[in-house]
Structure 1
Amino acid sequence: MSPYNYSKVGGESCTEELSEYKQKNSEPDRFASWSKAGEKFQFLRWPVTMCLLFSILVCELSILHKQPSSLQLGGELNALIPNFSIEQKIFHVDIKYASDHNTITSMNLTKQYWRDLMPRGGGFINVPDYASHTLPSPMHFPQYPDKKVYSVAVFHELHCLMHISSYIDELVMKIRNKDFNLNESEIGHNDHCFNYLRNALLCCGDTTLEGQSQALMFKDIPGTDGTGAVHVCRNYDEILSWAEGQRIVDAKDSF
C-alpha cells in the first residue's frame, strides 16, 4: 500500500476558489471603468459649471428686473410709473388760485385755474395686470367695464385742494347771504381731503429751510409764508405729460 494518501480533487472547491478570485479581481476593473468614463466626460465639467452659473445669473437678473432700480421719494413702488427728473423751484405767491370770495365770476375763474393743473383723463390710468403687483384692488367703473382703474396720487391731492378751495368760496357766499343750510356730504368730503392731505404731507416731508417773509403783512413781524426758499422738486410737467399719455378718457373732470 502506498504510504501516501491521495484525496480526490473535487470540482466544486475549484469552482468556488475561481469565483472568489474573479470577484476580487473584478473590483479594480470596475473602478478602472468608472475612472475611464470620468476621464471621457472631464471636458464637460467646465461647460456644465458655466451653464449652471449662467442660469443662476439669469434668474437673479429677472428678479431684479421686476424691482424698481431705485425708489424715488414720492415714486411708485412697482416701477409702473417712471422716475421723473428733479428740479429746483422757488415758491412764489400766485393770487389766481384764490378767488375774491365775493363774486361768482371770480370763483368760477379760480376753479378753472385749478382745473388747468390737472391732466386730461384726470390722472386715472389702467393697470390690467394689477394682480402681479403690490397694489390695492382697482376701481371698477360701469362705463369702462374692461378697465382696472387707478388714480395717480398727486392728482388726487390736487383734486382735494381744489375741492377745499371751492367749498370755502361757497361757504363764504352762504354766510354773506345769511344762508346757513349746509351740504353734509360736502362736509364729509372735506374731512376726507384734510385727512388725505395730512398723510401726503407727512409722507413726502419737505425739509426745505424757509426764512423771513418779504410780504407787507410780515413787515414788522417775524414769520414766514414759505416764499423765497429753494425747494427740491420732482418735475411736475413730466408727471403731467406721462399721465396724459396713459389716460383712459380725454376729459379732465372724468369719472
Structure 2
Amino acid sequence: MDVYISNYTFDGDMMVLRHRWQELLPLGGGNVLVKDHKSYSYLSDPIQDDSGPIYVTTWTHQLHCLFYVMSEYDRIVRHGRNGQEKLIPPGAYSVHTRHCFEILRQSILCHLDMTLEGSTSAISNGTTGFGHAHVCQNHQEAIDWMEANRVSDERLIVKEG
C-alpha cells in the first residue's frame, strides 16, 4: 500500500511523500489551456500566461492545499517535539496556509457529499469515513481531459524552494 501521510520523523520522508502526491496529478498539474474561454459564459477571467489563457482545475488546487497543510503540520510536529518550534518565524506561510484551509472548507460545502457513514469495526460509536460507497467522478476521464489540455508536463504539488 502506498503511503500518502507523514510519519513525522525527518525531512526525507516529506520528499518521498511529495513525489507520491505529485504522481496523483495529471501531466500539467491540472493547469489547462482554454483558448476559447470567452465561449463559456460561466468561466471567470483566465490566468494570463505565456502559453495563453489558463485555468487550474479545482480538485488539483484542493489536492495542492491539502498537501501544503499536511506539510506545514509535519514541520511543526517535528520541530515542536524538541521544543524548537520557535525556529519557525512568526507568521511564516500563514497567508498560504490560511488560503488552503479556506479552499478546503469551500470544497466541502460545495460538494456536500451526502454519503451516509455508519460505524465501522474500527470505531463502534463513530466513523472513520472509510468503507462507505461514495459517488465519484470518473478519474481517468478527468485525467485524460486535463492532460489533453495541459499547459506543461510538470507535476508539482507545491513549488520547490
TM-score band, normalised by shorter chain: 0.7 to 0.9
- Matched to 2:48, the amino acid is H
Structure 1 unmatched ranges of 5 or more: 1-93
TM-score using structure 1 length: 0.56
Q: Quick one: which of 41, 63, 66 aligns to 1:161? A: 66
* Equivalent position to 2:14, from 107, 111, 133: 107
- Identify the match of residue 136 of structure 1 among 44, 49, 54: 44
Tell me, yes or no, if the aligned pair for 2:35 and 2:52 is still in contact at 8 Å: yes
CA distance in 1, matches of 2:117, 2:69: 25
- SS of alignment partner, residue 231 of structure 1: coil
Of residues 103, 109, 132, the one that matches 1:202 is 109
Percent identity, aligned pairs only, is 34
Q: Which amino acid aligns with 2:31?
A: F
Q: Which of structures 1 and 2 has the bigger CA Rg?
A: 1
The list of structure 1 runs, each at least 4 consecutive aligned residues, that deviate by more than 3 angstroms after superposition, is: none
CA drift at 1:179: 3.5
For 1:122 and 1:238, locate their aligned partners in 2 and report how far apart those are by CA, in whole Å.
15
For the pair 1:223 / 2:126, whether they are aligned, the reply is yes
Amino acid at match of 2:81: R
**Aligned counterparts of 1:95 and 1:198: Cα–Cα separation in 2:** 26
Query: Offset of 1:95 from its aligned partner?
Result: 6.9
Counterpart-to-counterpart distance in 1, 2:120 and 2:5? 19
Does the alignment pair 1:235 with 2:138?
yes
Q: Check if 1:192 corresponds to 2:99.
A: yes
Query: Greater share of helix residues, 1 or 2?
Result: 1
Q: CA deviation at 1:185?
A: 4.8
3-state SS, counterpart of residue 240 of structure 1: helix
Q: Report how many residues are paired.
A: 155
CA distance in 2, matches of 1:101, 1:250: 30
C-alpha distance in 2, partners of 1:240/1:183?
A: 39
SS state of the match for residue 140, structure 1? strand
Which residue of structure 1 aligns with residue 153 of structure 2?
250
Distance 2:46 2:91 in 1: 28
Distance 1:222 1:166, change over 3 A: same
List alignment gaps of at least 5 residues for structure 2: none
The separation in 2 between residues aligned to 1:113 and 1:251, in whole angstroms, is: 14
Aligned Cα RMSD in Å? 2.0
Correspondence 1:165-184 to 2 at 5 A: 165-177=70-82, 178-180=84-86, 181-182=88-89, 184=91
Say whether residues 1:149 and 2:54 are aligned partners. Answer: yes
TM-score (norm 2): 0.86
Q: C-alpha separation between the residues in 2 aligned to 1:242 and 1:131?
A: 19
Distance 1:109 1:120, change over 3 A: same
Larger RCO: 1 or 2 (CA < 8 Å, sep 6+)? 2
Residue in 2 aligned with 1:37? none
Contact 2:47–2:54 (CA under 8 A) maintained in structure 1:
yes
